[in-house]
Amino acid sequence: MKAIISESYGSPDTLKLSEVDTPTPKQNQVLVRVHASSINFGNLVLLTGKPLLARLVFGLRKPKYPIPGGDMAGIVEAIGENVTQFQVGDEVYGDLSSSGWGAYAEHVAVDEKALVLKPSNLSFTEAAAVPMAATTALQAIRDKGMVRAGQEVLIIGASGGVGTFAVQIAKAFGAEVTAVVSTRNVDIVRSFGSDHVIDYKKEDFTNHNQTYDLILGVNGGQSISTYKRKLKGNGVFIHIGGKESQMYQTMTLGSWYSLIGKKKFSTFLQRANPKDLVFMKELIEEGKVKPVIDRSYSLSEVPKAFQYFEEGHSQGKVIITI
């Protein structure tokens, strides 16, 4: 089969399209014919080996997972003898980041526990946009932010892979959402449900008097004391991404603020969780969430796709079609 192989840490040019053996599923695995995958922040860590701490998980000298690709949507082609959940022909999707990666390939053999049935109203391309980005937003909003209907949520960086899901998921929980985006993204975030939009190229959201129950720092990087000022009395700030300083400040000053006051600050790392994919499948099939896709690249164009993603201006998700 054709697969993208990553033999050393480095730039997107280190990713090579190669011919490798099609895997054989073990007893608890299914063999999936991959139709689409996508790019996420985790893929960049696996590509570059940075931050260096990540090499404790991904391999000290070179990536221990030679075929990258975490998000996956495809069709079950064969099953191991102990597989109970799936049959040949099932349309599935999954986040393989805790199950050996391997989605940038024509086939992948993966533990059945990593997969769930794909949302029936999405194409494979759309389904591959969902796993990591949507569950990052879901885990931040529902599990860390514990958002409730009627609460006011500010999403800074609402136009990328995570942000476009975050707006729709917060709306699905009944929140009133304000999105902070650049001029070219104002119409897009309005189109999928933001109640209010602040164009950061034209105005500074910190100048508004409005305060929020939940602030999601998906991109950008204001100081933690600024976020503290923008939170309501029991408000919560969740760091997802953006400038590194934002993460370090959340871990240090944010922890201190959390200890001495009612406003809470935390950072978190998304974890692959098939239950969350079932939750997303339901939201998607109810029509409450729809993936926003910026552009698609073929398997041979994966290095080009990474170069585009690395620029950090994508409008929704960058997809790999296989």
Ligand X SMILES: NC(=O)c1ccc[n+]([C@@H]2O[C@H](COP(=O)([O-])OP(=O)(O)OC[C@H]3O[C@@H](n4cnc5c(N)ncnc54)[C@H](OP(=O)(O)O)[C@@H]3O)[C@@H](O)[C@H]2O)c1
Contacts 24+ apart (CB under 8 A), 8-14: 8/62, 8/63, 9/47, 9/48, 9/49, 9/50, 9/55, 9/62, 9/63, 10/47, 10/48, 11/47, 11/48, 12/47, 12/302, 12/303, 12/304, 12/306, 12/307, 12/310, 13/303, 14/47
Listing DSSP states for 152-221 in one string gives EEEEES-SBHHHHHHHHHHHHTT-EEEEEE-GGGHHHHHHTT-SEEEETTT--GGGS---EEEEEESS--
Torsion 280-281-285-289 (CA) sign? positive
Instruction: Please identify which residue in 115, 181, 214, 231 interacts with ligand X, judged by CB under 6 A.
Output: 181
Q: Which of 160, 235, 274, 291 binds ligand X (CB under 6 A)?
A: 160
Q: Alpha helix locations (H) across 64-160?
A: 124-127, 131-138
Least distance from C-beta 271 to ligand X, angstroms?
8
Phi and psi at residue 78, to the nearest 5°: -155, 155
Q: Is 220 in the site for ligand X (CB under 6 A)?
A: yes
**Shortest Cβ 35–ligand X spacing (Å):** 21
**Contact code string over 2-41 relative to ligand X, x by CB under 6 A:** --------------------------------------xx
Q: How far is CA 253 from the centre of its chain?
A: 26
Q: Print the binding letters for residues 286-305 with ligand X: x by CB under 6 A, - otherwise.
A: --------------------
Cβ proximity of 85 and 246 under 8 Å:
no
Q: Which is nearer to ligand X, 181 or 299 (CB)?
A: 181
The one-letter code for the residue type at 76 is V
Nearer to ligand X by Cβ, of 30 and 197: the residue is 197
Q: Is residue 204 within the footprint of ligand X (CB under 6 A)?
A: no
Size of the site for ligand X (CB under 6 A): 30
145 binds ligand X (CB under 6 A): no
Residue 162 lies near ligand X (rule: CB under 6 A):
yes
Instruction: Rule CB under 6 A: say whether 136 interacts with ligand X.
Output: yes
Within 76-135, which residues bind ligand X (CB under 6 A)? 133
Site string for ligand X, 224-263 (x = CB under 6 A): ----------------xxx---------------------
Shortest Cβ 222–ligand X spacing (Å) = 9
**Binding interface with ligand X (CB under 6 A):** 40-41, 133, 136, 156-157, 159-163, 180-182, 184-185, 200, 218-220, 240-242, 268-270, 312-315
